[in-house]
Structure 1
Amino acid sequence: MTAAWVAVAAVAGGLAAWTLAGFDGAAGDRGRPLDDAAVRRALAARPSTPTTPTTPATPASPDPSTSREPASSPEPTGSATPPPRRSTLRFTGGTATAECRPDGTVYLTSWSPADGYHVEEYARGPARSARLELEPSAEDADDVEYEISCGPTGKAAVSRAPEDDD
């Protein structure tokens, strides 16, 4: 009877050790975290997903030629608007990420002041231009105000805003 208990304990211990060590089966390594290099390798080995949508076959279609879109169909025309174009802008006092929208407006999605600055005021849009006013930590330094707008190519640009004469 003791030999049976020893055998059961050995099998249970072996299974526990095998589980803790991870299982390298068909689905991959299941117990170990991946480091950065392993994540990059796994993503590179992953098959890419199609970038063009496929149209499912129409059920019970009497004519098979109408069940799918032709492979050489022209680009769809209609009210589909292109997505906003994002740009990250760097300037004295920090960075900002802005979206140039199809209607020509700009929207600040985020901003981050550099060390020694903080955002005093902002106007994020959407509007023809957005503004960020940064205040330096140094007592004798002037505030810096920037204007962000979208150029004719749809890419955001930053410039020093004209000073107000208040």
Structure 2
Amino acid sequence: MRKWRSAVVTAAWVAVGTAAGALGAWQLAGSDAGDGDAAHSRPLDEAAVRRALARASNAPADTGAPPPSTATGSAKPTSPPAAERSTVRFTGGSATVECRADGTVRLISWSPADGFHIDDDVERGPAAVVRLEAEPADDDEQEDLHYEIHCTPEGPRAKVVQDKDDD
């Protein structure tokens, strides 16, 4: 009787685990409607976030185009163009930066790649160039990677540079 009860309990656990796995797979497959906006598809850029928020609130999406002019003919003051945020990836990790209309860059956030950590003395800007250092986590043989990030018309670029402190 004891072996039979153990077999029934084991079978019940296997059935519950299989059902849970099937339900999870079904949910995951059903969450991507093919439009590529599912959370597991890819990170959203700023325009995709605006579109998703507009869909959620049933408000028109901000396309970046100026608002239509009014019939009164009064001119509205224009604000300077907003800073454009983008992510730049490099061997030691990635960083989100703002490329500003005045040509400067500001470091918003950063994340180390596996096996690295970002040193505490980060130069965030705004400046013509921002700097950070990616250090290998457990490898004394591998050199620290010193990065300078600047904005170009094509977007932010990171390059490895010689450490200023190395003489």
Q: Same fold (TM over 0.5)?
A: yes
**Once the 2 structures are TM-superposed, how far is the Cα of residue 155 of structure 1 from its aligned partner?**
2.1
The whole-number CA distance in structure 2 between the counterparts of 1:90 and 1:140 is 23
Q: Which ranges in structure 2 are unaligned for 5 or more consecutive residues?
A: 1-27, 38-51
**Once the 2 structures are TM-superposed, how far is the Cα of residue 96 of structure 1 from its aligned partner?**
0.4
Aligned to 1:108: 107
Give matches, 1:69-80, under 5 Å. Answer: 69-70=70-71, 78=77, 80=79
Percent of aligned pairs sharing the same letter? 39
The secondary structure found in structure 1 opposite 2:122 is strand
Q: Deviations over 1:37-86 (max 9, x none)?
A: 3997xx7687442646578xxxxxxxxxxxxx129x79x67551000011
The whole-number CA distance in structure 1 between the counterparts of 2:155 and 2:32 is 35
Using the size of structure 1 for normalisation, the TM-score is 0.56
The whole-number CA distance in structure 2 between the counterparts of 1:109 and 1:45 is 26
Using the size of structure 2 for normalisation, the TM-score is 0.56
RMSD: 3.6
**Structure whose residues are more often helix by fraction:** 2
CA contact (8 A) 1:100 1:154 kept: no
Q: Which ranges in structure 1 are unaligned for 5 or more consecutive residues?
A: 1-34, 56-68
Aligned to 2:31: 37
Aligned to 2:83: 84
CA contact (8 A) 1:107 1:127 kept: yes
Q: What is the total number of aligned residue pairs between the two structures?
A: 116
The secondary structure found in structure 1 opposite 2:31 is helix
**Once the 2 structures are TM-superposed, how far is the Cα of residue 102 of structure 1 from its aligned partner?**
1.0
**Once the 2 structures are TM-superposed, how far is the Cα of residue 104 of structure 1 from its aligned partner?**
0.9
Aligned to 1:156: 156
